[in-house]
Amino acid sequence: MPYADIPGARLWYKETGRHGTPVVFLHAASGTNDSWGLQEPAFNEAGYRCIAYDRKNWGRSESVTPAGSAGDDLEALAQHLGLNRFHLVCTALGGIIGLDYAVEYPDRVISLTVSSSFTGVTDQSYLDVQTRLRPPEISNLPIELREVGPSYRAVNPEGVAEWLRIEESSRHEITPEEGQSPRSPMTYARLAAMQIPVLMLTGGADLLSPPAMMKLVADHIPNCRFEVVPEAGHAAFHEEPEVWNKLVLEFIGQHGD
């Protein structure tokens, strides 16, 4: 797994399945490129080239200069790897970046999947719903209670331990000034202009991005499919990989390059 030297950062990335249409994965704030270990074999078997990377200020990537746009980092990585067009698959904070990138670079993105994400929408009507559905009591829970659903915690302690291992290796210590931001604030109006096919999905037991909240955003995207993974929490891709992978592979299979 090599580094890609891009403006302002050295991004640690991994490729599996060197042939076929590329699929780029964007991890959560609680993750790294290691988060996608339950996706890569299934996507490779389906004939896709998988690319997962540690975003700037996460995992093994190295920050050269602070701040900047995570979408611009993705574009620089795409150029570094010679990617022309690709499917973009994102979860949580990665979904905020994916939406921003898809709006800014629509010719690059064949399809966009956004799973369990706050989405970054800044319209006040959306923020009001977000405040009602995610009060401080939820945000202050231990991270595994916030992000991993109760059904999974009950039956798969080994899987929870692996999720926590990845989470604990994820973030660098950075100042607020070193944080990255979208190219432009995300609004319903920006989303309404999207022309690419979009899949939005979330877990039925997601405390942070519950179905009602994500459906609000999905309804503002013209060519958007919405799905719910029953019982899964915020880490639906990790908790229910067979169900999650099937939904995403079916979707991107309908939208080949």
CATH number of the domain that residue 55 is part of: 3.40.50.1820
DSSP the chain: --EEEETTEEEEEEEE--SSSEEEEE--TT--GGGGTTTHHHHHHTTPEEEEEPPTTBTT-EESSS---HHHHHHHHHHHHT--SEEEEEETHHHHHHHHHHHH-TTTEEEEEEES--TTB--HHHHHHHHHHS-HHHHTS-HHHHHS-HHHHHH-HHHHHHHHHHHHTTB----GGG----SS-B-HHHHHT--S-EEEEEETT-SSS-HHHHHHHHTTSTTEEEEEETT--TTHHHHSHHHHHHHHHHHHHTS--
* Percent of the chain residues past pLDDT 90, beyond the cut: 86
pLDDT of residue 177: 64
Query: Looking at the predicted structure, is the pLDDT value of residue 90 above 80?
Result: yes
Q: Region 58-76: what's the mean pLDDT?
A: 89
pLDDT by residue (tens digit) across 1-57? Answer: 699 999 999 999 999 997 899 999 999 999 999 999 999 999 999 999 999 999 999
pLDDT of residue 172: 79
pLDDT of residue 18: 78
> 32 lies in which domain range?
3-253
Query: Looking at the predicted structure, is the pLDDT value of residue 88 above 70?
Result: yes
pLDDT of residue 66: 72
Give the total number of structural domains in the chain. 1
Q: Region 76-86: what's the mean pLDDT?
A: 96
Between 7-16, 142-151, 177-186, 241-250, the lowest mean confidence (pLDDT) is in: 177-186
Please state, rounded to an integer, the average pLDDT across all residues of the chain. 94
